[in-house]
Structure 1
Amino acid sequence: MSHPAYLELYEQGVLQKRAAVARERLASCTLCPLACRADRLNGEAGECRIGREVIVASYGPHFGEEDVLRGWRGSGTVFFSGCNLRCVYCQNYDISQFAGGYAVDAAQLAEIFLEVQREGCHNLNLVTPSHVVAQILDALAIAVPRGLRLPIVYNTSGYDSVAALRLLDGVVDIYMPDVKYSDSAIGQQYSGIPHYWEVVRPALREMHRQVGDLRIERGLAMRGLLIRHLVLPGRLAGSQEALRFIAEDISRNAWINLMDQYHPSYRAYDYPELARRITTDEYAEVVAYARSLGLHRGIPLDTRR
C-alpha cells in the first residue's frame, strides 16, 4: 500500500510553503469562489461565518460513508462548521449555518488528525473543508512530522476555487465533491451562491487532473475522484446535464454515488417543490441515464429501495 503523496511534499518543504501562502490569503480572503475578502487572519468572519480559527463540530470513525471509504474500521471524519453555501435543505444546518462546535487552533487540529489515525480509521475525511483550506494546511504541517500517514479525503460541495485546489495538489489523495446542480440559477435560488455550474466544472477538471479515476485496493479507496450527486425532486438538480458533463469531460470511468436519500430539512418546507422526498421513478430515471452514457462505477444495478 503506497504512502500518501503529502509526505514527500513535507520533506521537500513544499507543504509548509503552501500553508504560508494560504495563510496570507486569509488576510483578504479569496480562498473560496465567494472571494469575500474578509480579514480572517485577524479574526473577522467571512461569508462562511468562520474567522481565523476553525470550528470543529465533531470527529471520529464514521460508518455512514461509501463502502470504499468506511471499510471495516470507519472513515475518520472531521466535521468543520461553517460553509460557503446556504442550502435551504441542508441536513447539517446546525453545523453549516449556525457554526455549532468548538474553536481550535492549528496545533489542536493537528492533534485531532492524529487522534483519528490512532482510532484506526482508514482515512482522514475532511468534511466541508473549502473555507478552511489554510487552517488544514497549517495543521498538516504540524501533524505530518508527528506521524500522520492516512490518505486524505476532501469531502466538498464542489464550490471550490481552482487556485485553492492547486494548493492541495499532492496533499489530497481522494477528492469527493458533491455535484449539486447543473444550473447556476437553481444554485442561487436554493444555495444562495452565484455561478455554481461555472465554478464546479473547472473544479472537477482540476481534481481529476490531480488524482485521476478512483483507485481501489483491497476494497478501500486509496486515490482518485469519487463524485456524489444528490437527486432532488422535480429534476431540480439538473442530473442529466451534470452526468453528461462527467461522462464527456471528466471520465466514463468516474466513480459516482447517485444519492437517493433526499428528504426535506431545515427550510425546505418553505419551498413546495422541495417539500417531499424523491420518487422511485425519479431516481430510476437518473440511474438509467447514467448507464446510457457509459457511466458504471458506483452506479446501482437495481434501483428498488
Structure 2
Amino acid sequence: MDRSLCLQSFRLSRFNPRLTVWRPSSPSPRLLHLAPPFLLDDYVPRYHLISSVDAARKRSDAYAHLRNCNLCPRLCGVNRFEKTGVCLIGADVKVNVIAPHFGEEPCIQGHNGSGSVFFSGCNLRCVFCQNHDIAHERKGFDLTPEQLAEWYLKLQEVGKVHNINLITPEHVVPQVALSILHARELGLKLPIIYNTSSFDSPESLGLLNGLIDIYLPDFKVWKNATSRRLLKADNYAKAAMESIKVMHSQVGDLCFTADGLAKKGILVRHLVMPGKDDEGREIVRWLAKNVSKDLFMHVMEQYHPDAHVGKPKRTTKTHLQVEEPGGNPAPGEVKEKIRYDDINRPVSQAEMSSVKYAAQQAGLWRFNEVAEHGGFNI
C-alpha cells in the first residue's frame, strides 16, 4: 500500500476503528485495528479536574446521603449515623482486604497489580456470591474516609499499583467520595475504578460524577424472577440498565495509554450462569443497542457454585433415594435435596459460546481476550 493510501486509512480510522481497507496486492480485504479513537497520549484523573467549589459541594452532598440513605434502588432511607439498612454498614466503612490484586483484566491489573479495596457488606444477597464471607458476614476492619484515603496513598507509594480499584462500593458511595477528595489533597495521582454489581441509584452515580475514571459494572441477570430468586432484589435489570447508561454518559468507551493500561471509560462484565445463557444473550444485545457498539466487554466463565448453592435444604423434609451403580435403589439410604440445584454446576462451553456469539452478532467487538491482530485491544 502506498504512503498516501496509508495516511488516508489512518485519518478515516479515527472515525471508524474497524475500517476495512482493500490492499491491491491482497486477495481479500483486511481489518485495520488502529488505536487513535481509544488511545490517550496522557491522562489526568478526573478528580484532579473538579474545582474546589464542586469538591465542597460533593462533601456536603455526601453527608446528606448518609443522613437519608438513597444510595441504591432499595431506598432504605435510614440515617447511617444512627443505624444501618440492608447493606449493614453505617457512616464509616468496613474493609476486608486492601492490597495489590492480580485477578482482574490484563488492562486493569498490568504488571504491578490493581490497588484493590474489598469493602465488606453489600446491597445484594447473591446466593452464589464468591465473596460471601465479606459481603454477607461483614468481616473486616473499620475505617473513616480519611483513613481510607491514606491507604490509597500506601497502595500508590508502596505497592506501585496502576489504579485504585474499589470493589463492591455501591453502599459506601458517600464515604468513597469523601476519601477520594481527601486523597487528592494528599497527593493521589492514580485512576479510580468503581467496581460494581450495577445495583446503583442515579443519586449515588451523580455524586461520583467527576471522581471516577473507570466504571467496571457487572450486568448479572436479565429476568426479574431470576433477580428475585438469586440476587434477592426486585427490578435488578432495570436498575442495571439505568446505571450503565449513566456510567457511559460520564466516562465514555474504554480508553488506554500506549502501555496498554486502561485509564478512562467503562468495561462491562457479564458472568455467564449455568442455564441462564438466554439472559446473557439478552443482556449483550441490549448493551450493543442502547449503550455503545464500541463497549469493551468481558464475557466471564469464572462461575462456580459457592455460598448457598449446593448446600442441603433447611426447610424441607423431602428426600431422594440414593441409587447404586446400575440404577437400583439402595434400601434405607437417602440423600437430602440441595439448594439451587439448577446452578450447582460449572458453565458449559456451549453456554459461553452462545453468549459471545450473540454479542458479536449484535455488533460488539472489543472483548477481554487475546487480540486477533496481535496487539492490545485498544
Alignment map for 1:1-305 (pairs within 5 Å): 1-9=42-50, 11-42=51-82, 44-118=83-157, 119-217=159-257, 218-235=259-276, 238-269=279-310, 270-298=339-367, 300=369
- Does the CA contact (< 8 Å) of 1:32 and 1:164 recur in 2? yes
Bigger proportion of residues as helix: 1
Q: Which stretch of the first structure deviates more once superposed, 240-249 or 287-296?
A: 287-296
Q: Which residue of 1 aligns with 2:23?
A: none
Question: TM-score, normalising length from structure 1?
Answer: 0.95
CA-based RMSD of the aligned residues comes to: 1.4
How far did residue 54 of structure 1 move? 0.4
* Cα distance per residue 1:100-136 (max 9 Å; x no partner): 1001112211111111111211001000011000001
**Residue identity matched to 1:279:** S
Q: Which stretch of the first structure deviates more once superposed, 12-21 or 180-189?
A: 12-21
Q: Which stretch of the first structure deviates more once superposed, 87-96 or 228-237?
A: 228-237
**Residue identity matched to 1:107:** E
Q: Which stretch of the first structure deviates more once superposed, 23-32 or 143-152?
A: 23-32
How far did residue 31 of structure 1 move? 1.4
Query: Which structure 1 segments of 5+ residues have no match?
Result: none
Q: Which residue of 1 aligns with 2:322?
A: none
**Residue identity matched to 2:217:** P
Identity %: 39
Q: Which stretch of the first structure deviates more once superposed, 145-154 or 135-144?
A: 135-144
Which secondary structure does the structure 1 equivalent of 2:49 belong to? helix
- Does the CA contact (< 8 Å) of 2:95 and 2:118 recur in 1? yes
Which secondary structure does the structure 2 equivalent of 1:40 belong to? coil
Give the Cα–Cα distance (whole angstroms) in 1 for the partners of residues 111 and 225 of structure 2. 41
Query: Which structure 2 segments of 5+ residues have no match?
Result: 1-41, 311-338, 372-378
Which secondary structure does the structure 1 equivalent of 2:284 belong to? helix
* Cα distance per residue 1:23-54 (max 9 Å; x no partner): 11211211111111121023x11210101110
Describe the shift of the 1:77–1:301 C-alpha distance in structure 2 as closer, same or farther (beyond 3 A): closer
Question: TM-score, normalising length from structure 2?
Answer: 0.77
Give the Cα–Cα distance (whole angstroms) in 1 for the partners of residues 148 and 239 of structure 2. 28
Give the Cα–Cα distance (whole angstroms) in 2 for the partners of residues 79 and 46 of structure 1. 19
Describe the shift of the 1:131–1:152 C-alpha distance in structure 2 as closer, same or farther (beyond 3 A): same
Which secondary structure does the structure 2 equivalent of 1:13 belong to? helix
